[in-house]
């Protein structure tokens, strides 16, 4: 997804978009415990809003209705990203994505900080960025990609259409460690070596239906409310495919057009006022 914001010399504003795993296959586990994945990812035109400016010392301000539960200490990936770049900056993030929701929000925020500091100072982003989190490399790319290994192997994917989607989260953070605790099989089959190209949105949704998210069932076992979200979303008129993103608990539905997606989002908000719901476009 292109950055639509201009970058002044000393300050940058950035959209940190939601990452959506259209398919996520767990295909192995390394000796050090890290799981190996094969995942097809696209990014939404909706996300957190991050601003970064040079400062005498590094600081972080978190605001927005999704700010509850977001740490502001050294455990926050934004602060760790600034430390990695070794540049003191003042950072502000308006949280619009749920916390621990399978949308890569923290990684996307960190990627925004890395990119902002690189653009402002001219410093290269170090390869050690992968150590911030498995989703950081793909969030740096911000476009349709296939991610493999533990997330360090990111390959751009061309020929995919934009997808109209609705993202739904029940408002309960789902710790990744709890999801993997329920994962029974860790050596599943990967995605096909050759991914589809030139399909329209309906055709791509049909193909995605033959793929999987191997963390979906474990996440539902860890947090049964995800099953309720999944079932409710799947029954919305015009829904082509329902799946969970990442390790949960956000589920997404795909639709043939923007109007149908927005209608579904409105219906879901009305019927489930405690859920976080947004219609968005996933861009290739």
Catalytic residues: 19, 135
Do 102 and 245 contact (CB within 8 A), yes or no?
yes
3-state secondary structure 34-54: CEEEEEEEEEEEEEEEEEEEE
Residues in the chain, total: 284
Distance CA 105, CA 95 (A): 9
Distance CA 75, CA 92 (A): 16
Tell me the CA distances in angstroms from 82 to 14, 104, 110, 264, one per residue in order: 15, 18, 8, 39
Number of Cβ atoms within 10 Å of the Cβ of 62: 20
Report which DSSP code applies to 234.
H
Distance CA 109, CA 95 (A): 9
What tokens were used for 228?
Answer: 């309720």
Peptide bond into 249 cis (omega under 30): yes
Q: Is 172 exposed, middle or buried (0-12, 13-18, 19+ CB in 10 A)?
A: middle
Coil, helix or strand at residue 30 = coil
């Amino acid at each position: 997804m292109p950055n639509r914001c201009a970058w002044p010399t000393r300050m940058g504003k950035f959209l940190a978009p939601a990452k959506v795993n259209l398919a996520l296959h767990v295909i192995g586990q390394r000796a050090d415990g890290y799981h190996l994945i094969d995942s097809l990812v696209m990014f939404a035109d909706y996300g957190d809003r991050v601003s970064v400016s040079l400062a005498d010392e590094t600081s972080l301000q978190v605001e927005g209705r999704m700010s509850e539960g977001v740490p502001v200490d050294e455990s926050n990936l934004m602060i760790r990203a600034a430390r990695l770049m070794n540049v003191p900056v003042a950072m502000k993030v308006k949280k619009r994505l749920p916390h621990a929701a399978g949308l890569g929000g923290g990684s996307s925020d960190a990627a925004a900080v890395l990119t902002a500091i690189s653009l402002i100072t001219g410093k290269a982003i170090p390869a050690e960025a992968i150590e911030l989190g498995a989703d950081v490399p793909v969030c740096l790319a911000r476009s349709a990609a296939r991610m493999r290994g533990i997330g360090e192997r990111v390959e751009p994917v061309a020929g995919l259409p934009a997808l109209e989607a609705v993202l739904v989260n029940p408002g309960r953070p789902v710790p990744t460690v709890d999801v993997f605790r329920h994962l029974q099989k860790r050596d599943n089959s990967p995605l096909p070596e050759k991914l589809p190209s030139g399909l329209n949105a309906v055709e791509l949704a049909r193909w995605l239906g033959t793929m999987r998210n191997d963390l979906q069932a474990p996440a539902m076992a860890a947090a049964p409310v995800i099953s309720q979200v999944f079932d409710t979303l799947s029954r919305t008129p015009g829904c082509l495919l329902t799946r969970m993103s990442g390790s949960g608990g956000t589920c997404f539905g795909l639709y043939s057009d923007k109007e149908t997606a927005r209608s579904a989002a409105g219906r879901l908000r009305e019927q489930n006022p405690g859920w976080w719901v947004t219609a968005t476009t996933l861009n290739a």
